[in-house]
Chains A and B, each alone.
Chain A
Amino acid sequence: MPDPAPIRVQLPYHLRTLARVDGELTLTVPPPITIRAVLDALEARYPMLAGTIREHDTHKRRPFLRFFACEEDLSLESPDKPLPDAVANGAEPLLIVGAIAGG
C-alpha cells in the first residue's frame, strides 16, 4: 500500500512565524483526512500552535479564523467530515485564513 500523500496546509502569517516555518507546510496525516485529523497532526508536529487555531479542551474553532479548500468554505462543516479528495491526495491545500484586518 503506497504511503498516503502529504497534506498541504497554508497558515496565516502570524502562525507561520510562531511555528517558524516558511510558506506552505506539509503533514503526514492518517486517514480519514478530516479537519480534525489535519489539526491533530498539525499540533503534534508544531505544538506551539495548540490553542491558536482551535481552543484547548473544546477544540472549538477560534472565531476570527476560517477553513477553506478547493474554493469552498469548510468553516461550518463538521470537523469529522472528510475533506475534498483534492486535499486528501495533496493536489490542493487546506487554507487556514484569518479575518482581514481593516484600518
Chain B
Amino acid sequence: MSNVRVLVGTRKGAFILTSDGKRDNWQVSGPHFAGWEIYHMKGSPVDPDRIYASQTSGWFGQILQGSNDGGKTWFQPGVKPEDATPQWPPVKSNRFAYDASAETGKPLTTHQWYDGTQHPWEFKRVWHLEPSLTDADTVYAGVEDAALFRSTDGGVSWHELPGLRGHGTGPDWQPGAGGMCLHTIILDPTNPERIYIAISAAGAFRTDDGGRSWKPINKGLVSNMTPNPTAEVGHCVHHIAMHPSRPDVLFMQKHWDVMRSDNAGDNWHEISGNLPTDFGFVIDVHAHEPETLYVVPIKSDSLHFPIDGKLQVYRSRTGGNEWEALTRGLPQENCYVNVLRDAMSVDTLDDCGIYFGTTGGQVYASTNGGDSWSAIVHDLPAVLSVEVQTLA
C-alpha cells in the first residue's frame, strides 16, 4: 500500500506528517530546525527521500537544508559536520549572488521600490524550491528579491538564471506587501525547456529555452488597483497551478481574480464565476481530474481571513466559473485564519487527497476530493507551505 508524507513549513520549524494510504492515522515528526522560518520543503520526484528545505531567519539569513532519508536526518549541502576541519571551505549552499555580468545577461542592479524610486536588488530568502523532474541533484530556487536560481549539485552551489531579471521589464518590477518574491516555479513535464514562474507583484513569466530567455505572460490579467490595469508587468500573481497531463492549461489565483489560460499563459481569462470573493492565495488541481480546481476564498486584501469567520474551500468541477462551497469538517464560526500561497497540495492516491495549512497552525486534509475535511494536525506554528508526497 502507498504511504503519504506531508511536508509542512511553518514560522517556527518544519514538521513531517506521515500516514499509510488510508490516511486515518498520522504520525508527526518535528519541529525540525525549531525556531527558524521554513518557507518551503519539497521532495525530488526522482528520489522522494531527497528533500530540500528553505530555512530562513531575519537574524541569520538563509540556510539551505537537504535530507537523503525522507527528512529523518538533515544536512547543509556541502557541509559534513562530523568531518569539519579548518581546511573545509565555508558553506556556499546559502550563497545566492545575483548575476550582473555582461557575459550572461544585461547587468541589472535595481528594481522599483514601493515609493516608485529605484532600489538595489537585495537577496532576502528562498521562498520556493522546485526539484527537477529528471535529476535529483538539480533544483530551482525562487528567491526574494525576485530571481530564479538553479543548483545542479544537490544544492551545494547556486547560479542565477539571469535572463529572467534581464529580459527588459526588471526595472519595473516592484514588491508586494510581503516582499518581491518569486514564489511559483512550474516545470513542464513534457518539455524540459519550458518553465513557468510567478512573482509578486510583477506577474507570470515563461521560458521556452531552459531559462536563457523569458517573456511576461500576463495578457488578460486586469489589476484594477494599479495605474495601468492591463500593463505587461505589475500584476500581483499569488499562485499558479497546472495538471501534469495538460501542461498548457494553467490556473491562477491572482491578488483579486481567479484566472485560466489554455495556451501556456499567452492569454488568460477570468473564471471567478460565482465565488463569494475572488481574493485568495492558494489554488490547486485534483490529481486525476484536470478540470477540478480548489481555492480558498479570503475576504479581501485588507482583511486576510475567511468571510464571516467560516473556513470554506471552493471546488469547481468545470475548470472554473461554477464553484461549490466545501464546508464539512471545516470550522464555520469564529475562524479568522489565512491560507498562504504555497500551503495547498494534493496526493495522487486513487481517492485524491487534498491538503492545506493555515496560519492558525492546522493542516486539513480531505480523502474524498474535498467532500469532507479533518485536521490531521493542529496547533502548529503558522503554516507557510504544504507539500505532499505519495510514496510507493
Contact = CB atoms under 8 A, between A and B. Distances in A.
Interface of A: 12-15, 17-20, 41, 43-53, 55-57, 62, 64-65, 98-99
Interface of B: 34-36, 57-63, 76, 78-79, 81, 84-92, 94-95, 97
B63 A18 contact: yes
Given A41-B86, A98-B60, 13 more contacts: A12-B59, A12-B60, A14-B36, A43-B90, A47-B79, A47-B90, A48-B81, A48-B84, A52-B60, A56-B90, A62-B61, A65-B60, A98-B59
A47 B89 CA distance: 6
Given A47-B89, A56-B95, A62 B60 contact: yes
A57 B88 CA distance: 17
A87 to B, nearest CB: 20
A51 B61 contact: yes
SS class of chain B's interface: helix, strand, loop or mixed? Answer: loop
Contact of B60 (A15, A44, A45): A15
Contacts, number: 72
Given A14-B59, A15-B60, A99-B59, A45 B84 contact: yes
A28 B90 CA distance: 17
Nearest to B75: A48
Contacts of A15: 60
A52 B88 CA distance: 17
Given A14-B35, A44-B86, A45-B84, A52 B63 contact: yes
Contacts of B88: 44, 47
A18 B61 CA distance: 12
A51 B89 CA distance: 12
Contact of A45 (B34, B86, B89, B94): B86
Contacts of B89: 47
Q: What 9 pairs across the A-B complex have the smallest Cβ distances?
A: A50-B90, A52-B60, A64-B59, A56-B95, A98-B59, A47-B88, A44-B86, A51-B94, A43-B90
